Amino acid sequence: MTLGAANSDQDYDRTAAVKQFDDSKIGVKGLVDSGAATIPPFFIHPPETLPNSTPSTAPPASDLIPVVDLSGLDSNHRSRIVKQIRDASREFGFFQVINHGIPSGVINHTIDAIKAFNEQPTEVKSQYYTRDLLRGVSFATNFDLFQSKAASWRDTIHVNFSPMPPEIDHIPEIFRREVLEWDQHTRRLGEVLMEILSEGLGVKQERLKELSCLEGRVMAAHYYPYCPQPDLTLGVTSHTDPGVLTVLLQNHIRGLQVKHEDEWLDVKPVPDALIINIGDILQMLSNNEYKSVEHRVLAHPRREPRISIAVFLNPGKTENLYGPMPELTSPEKSALYRQFTLVEYMERFMIKELDGKSMINFFRL
């Protein structure tokens, strides 16, 4: 399939090419399966937004991103763990956790199930291909495909876990059991992490839970296949996560990078570790004590796919007002953001492309 091919720049109709690709419902994996030796032009990113290397040619992954061992959390090690997570959330906005209580078997089965879904024939996957994220379960290439200036080389499955979960039989059987179990594990881990993050802010342990920050949960499972021209595109463009907290599982294929002090750091895959990152809403709730930071994923030339499974933990009370916690403001440090409802916030998010920190800047006072 030669989706998006053109005889010259003058002949190329980007809007038509994107629509043709989307209507085909084959996804990026379908382009690879068709034997495409080049990527369609609408996947090509401006040179200034691209890295100088791909995961196969990049230097060794950085050891700067903290790895926090959660064992001993209910012992006299708790204060040390709280401090490690507080410091990582302030400085990097990212950290990895090990000994988090989720068995290796569950981790491996979840990755394998998402991989198996994506490697089914197009005619099987295409029945789930839709841009309607309110359907509960959806499969598509780039939720912002029609808003972005350049598409990213990945396919994604979204499952809304809470507060409005889909009918059980609407979840593809090939990963149904695994993702429902994954939701239970990540919900429990999320509750633990939010207690720790609350303690790190000096507010009561239940504070983030009281703000309904565990009640909105969405899974986005990304499949990054082989890319024939990885130096021309990205797996995910630079962005910050919009919610409160993200729990990310990744396989052993490198590609995730975090921006720190104007430098891109490669996040080293650690066996059985989970990556945790601060979202924009938590930066605002914490009145800038914690930082959401830009991150991206590189496209890669390996035949083995990169798999990552993100669970976004968000507030669940759509009409409540959110903003800096009153406990974290004072005459010496006034609120840095205005209050907003989740409805207003998500409406703003859905009309923009995935880019930088434009969301958080929109609500800044």
DSSP track, 58-96:
SPPPBS-S-EEE-TTTTTTTHHHHHHHHHHHHHHTSEEE
Q: If DSSP codes are grouped into helix, strand and coil, which group holds residue 7? A: coil
Query: Phi, psi at residue 262, to the nearest 5°?
Result: 65, 15
Q: Please give the Cα distance from 199 to 87 (Å, whole number).
A: 12
| Other Cβ atoms within 10 Å of 147 Cβ, number | 13
Burial of 208 (0-12, 13-18, 19+ CB in 10 A): buried
CATH number at residue 345: 2.60.120.330
Query: pTM for this one?
Result: 0.93
Determine how β-strand 274-278 pairs with β-strand 245-250: antiparallel
Which residues are registered as beta bridge partners of 249? 309
Q: Is the peptide bond before 46 cis (omega within 30 degrees of 0)?
A: no
The pLDDT of residue 12 = 83
Tell me whether residue 5 is in a domain: no
Per-position pLDDT tens, the chain of length 365: 445 444 446 678 999 999 999 999 999 999 999 999 999 999 999 999 899 766 666 656 668 999 999 998 989 999 999 999 999 999 999 999 999 999 999 999 999 999 999 999 999 999 999 988 778 999 999 988 998 899 999 999 999 999 989 999 999 999 999 999 999 999 999 999 999 999 999 999 999 999 999 999 999 999 999 999 999 999 999 999 999 999 999 999 999 999 999 999 999 999 999 999 999 999 999 999 999 999 999 999 999 999 999 999 999 998 899 999 999 999 999 999 999 999 888 888 777 655 666 678 889 99
Burial of 8 (0-12, 13-18, 19+ CB in 10 A): exposed
User: What letters, b where the CB count within 10 A reaches 16 and e where it falls short, cover 18-52?
Assistant: beebbebbbbbbbbbeeebeebbbbbbbeeeebbe
Q: What's the structural domain count of the chain?
A: 1
Tell me whether residue 295 is in a domain: yes
The pLDDT of residue 225 = 98
Q: Please give the Cα distance from 267 to 73 (Å, whole number).
A: 24
The pLDDT of residue 132 = 86
Tell me whether residue 246 is in a domain: yes
The DSSP code for 9 is T
Reading phi first (left if > 0) and then psi (alpha if -120 to 50, else beta), residue 99 is in: left
Tell me whether residue 265 is in a domain: yes
Tell me whether residue 225 is in a domain: yes
Q: Please give the Cα distance from 280 to 303 (Å, whole number).
A: 34
Alpha helices in the chain (DSSP H): 14-24, 27-33, 78-91, 104-118, 122-125, 173-201, 207-210, 280-285, 342-350, 358-362
Tell me whether residue 39 is in a domain: yes
Q: Please give the Cα distance from 121 to 115 (Å, whole number).
A: 12
* C-beta separation of 97 from 68 below 8 A: yes
Tell me whether residue 7 is in a domain: no
Q: Which domain holds residue 279?
A: 14-362
The pLDDT of residue 60 = 62
Tell me whether residue 63 is in a domain: yes
Q: Please give the Cα distance from 306 to 303 (Å, whole number).
A: 9
